[in-house]
Structure 1
């Protein structure tokens, strides 16, 4: 199957038919939402309620056990007090359905789920106050501690050997780095990968293992206004990148994506770290790896976005969302250097930790 034809491309009438047949719901409104490699639709049926229909790409649809695991994780978080979506059963009582359909590339199989709709706006659209960044860090740590208690027969599917988006597999970028040929950014990416090899890989045995959400970014966290003119977190979305990793990976991913949305990116790490450590204080090895892991996530994001555009030029605008600021911020924190960045993050985290714990 061509990599170009992995992402589904269903139209609204096909979606309406699917929703009717699988869930006995009559859609009065259907609207496509932006997505990376799946297809997501907002669905409001005349019977009431609001839902998201998620059609997995053909590649991920080949692994129903993994998708079942992700679906279970969402309901597990929800039962444990974090706002995640849950899957609505089909008329036959299944939480997902494997549909063999043609959306323009011949008949292929796609896993389909109807998920509950969570209210709120993505964090990318609101000002990132210190308090909100602290809450984001705290929520990310809480999520990882809850996921670690999960038991499920398909837990092993999260091992995901050679999963390109895992921070355990940063060195897989070597096969994609050619997309930066002629771009001065390539030298920084190569230097970060060398650092990863020398300063993260040898410390791995000291990092604490856990199950990672893997993509706690500014488009996957929803917020709503609270009583104090600030915002509270109202939803955690998209568990498609879940994998077995280490606690510090989700912290690094969270810091990196929140830097993208902040006018002063360097100031993001401290409050997120303070929030995180209010639940899960870091050990020395985790502290030592954090800076390089944040840089590594920038490299993954920028290189893989550039690569995806070569496959899906028609989706370039969405795929390059992160690249607009990402290149500038990666350069900035690389030029500041490790010592300076760590000092800013850890000093600020210590001060804020005292402030919010009082």
Structure 2
């Protein structure tokens, strides 16, 4: 029997509890409050009496156990902001702390949750914005800039970013095999199995040679906020959610961005080349890294579909958000698989080289 509901790590505070926390920890009196979407954490948009806006983020109780990791994530956000990267950052409590561990009872026993009050940055998610190829180029460039900047991060606790057992890491695609039963009866299950096998034979042996460093780990279409500028273009106003910050391969970062930014784009095949060109204006990939890109993109789509389906069983009340990539992701994975590696890469690499030449003019 599955008893996960008895020890549900997902916080489910009432708006009143959240407002009381903001007052107790930050001395902020909240006049308006509303829920924001989250995977297994809890986010509230708050407005104080002076009309200042904030985001109160309550981490799930499982991730809250690793205080050192949360401290490094919080520090990385501030570090990026100081270096000109538009990252969301945490505000200090009345006692000067950037995060607070709070014992809270959400109706299923008292648990400890990490609480942070974050800066609110206006704009819309990339998922909800009609971004241009130029915008995508700039997102790719910013993604590489994030990772290049993180190379300078210094902290005594950086070893916590060696998250070898993190199942969302693209180095752990084979772990999907343990969860494939959630796709029983689905035609896509065979495609996912084939992606895993090809990953094991074509990507895994090369990973040791890939360029590595600290990566954001989840540059998805919900974690990039953009604002409109002139001529229908957008600029990135914020990068959110550093909960998957880890040591990883730089090509993973780009593959994750390509996978998610294709989801809502009316011309998904146009995404990869523009992002790649933007990235490589900062950091070049090796032939082996480029050759692995297609399977890494497919691998992330597989992870999103399988883990989303798995987590719905545990967090049924958050079904809509957990399956946010399901419909488009299913169609996209099928289409990319049908087109095949050679065809998709030809499109991406041709677009990237054309784009790079055009940008230099």
Alignment of structure 1 residues 341-356 onto 2, 5 Å: 341-356=344-359
Map of 2:28 onto structure 1? 25
Q: Distance in 2 between matches of 1:179 and 1:138?
A: 36
Map of 1:304 onto structure 2? 307
1:290 matches 2:285: no
Query: What do residues 250-284 of structure 1 show as CA deviations (whole Å, max 9, x unaligned)?
Result: 00000000110111211211111111111111111
Q: Distance in 1 between matches of 2:238 and 2:104?
A: 31
Q: Pick from 213, 235, 240 the counterpart of residue 237 of structure 1.
A: 240
Q: Distance in 2 between matches of 1:149 and 1:3?
A: 40
Q: Pick from 260, 275, 280 the counterpart of residue 263 of structure 2.
A: 260
Alignment of structure 1 residues 1-80 onto 2, 5 Å: 3-4=4-5, 5-80=8-83
Quote how far apart the aligned CAs of 1:227 are: 2.7
Alignment of structure 1 residues 136-215 onto 2, 5 Å: 136-215=139-218
Quote how far apart the aligned CAs of 1:47 are: 4.2
8 Å CA contact retained: 1:71, 1:87: yes
1:336 matches 2:339: yes
1:320 matches 2:336: no
Question: Over aligned residues, Cα RMSD in angstroms?
Answer: 1.2
> SS where residue 223 of structure 1 aligns?
strand
> SS where residue 278 of structure 2 aligns?
helix
Q: Distance in 2 between matches of 1:314 and 1:15?
A: 19
8 Å CA contact retained: 2:131, 2:234: no
> SS where residue 268 of structure 1 aligns?
helix
Q: Distance in 2 between matches of 1:311 and 1:269?
A: 33
Q: Distance in 1 between matches of 2:40 and 2:331?
A: 25
Flag as ranges the 4+ runs of structure 1 deviating above 3 A. 1-4
Q: Distance in 2 between matches of 1:263 and 1:229?
A: 16
Q: Distance in 2 between matches of 1:228 and 1:330?
A: 32
Q: Distance in 2 between matches of 1:184 and 1:229?
A: 39
> SS where residue 29 of structure 1 aligns?
strand
Gaps of 5+ in 2: none
8 Å CA contact retained: 1:25, 1:47: no
Q: Distance in 1 between matches of 2:360 and 2:121?
A: 30
Q: Distance in 2 between matches of 1:3 and 1:174?
A: 21
Q: Distance in 2 between matches of 1:332 and 1:204?
A: 26
Gaps of 5+ in 1: none
8 Å CA contact retained: 1:159, 1:243: yes
> SS where residue 98 of structure 1 aligns?
strand
> SS where residue 122 of structure 2 aligns?
coil
Query: What do residues 48-104 of structure 1 show as CA deviations (whole Å, max 9, x unaligned)?
Result: 521110000000010011110100110111011111111111111111110001011
TM-score, length basis structure 1: 0.98
8 Å CA contact retained: 2:100, 2:114: yes
Report the count of equivalent residues. Answer: 358
Quote how far apart the aligned CAs of 1:185 are: 0.7
8 Å CA contact retained: 2:131, 2:233: no
1:100 matches 2:117: no
> SS where residue 113 of structure 1 aligns?
strand
8 Å CA contact retained: 2:215, 2:249: yes
Query: What do residues 128-172 of structure 1 show as CA deviations (whole Å, max 9, x unaligned)?
Result: 211111111111111111112111111111111210111111111
Q: Distance in 1 between matches of 2:171 and 2:50?
A: 45
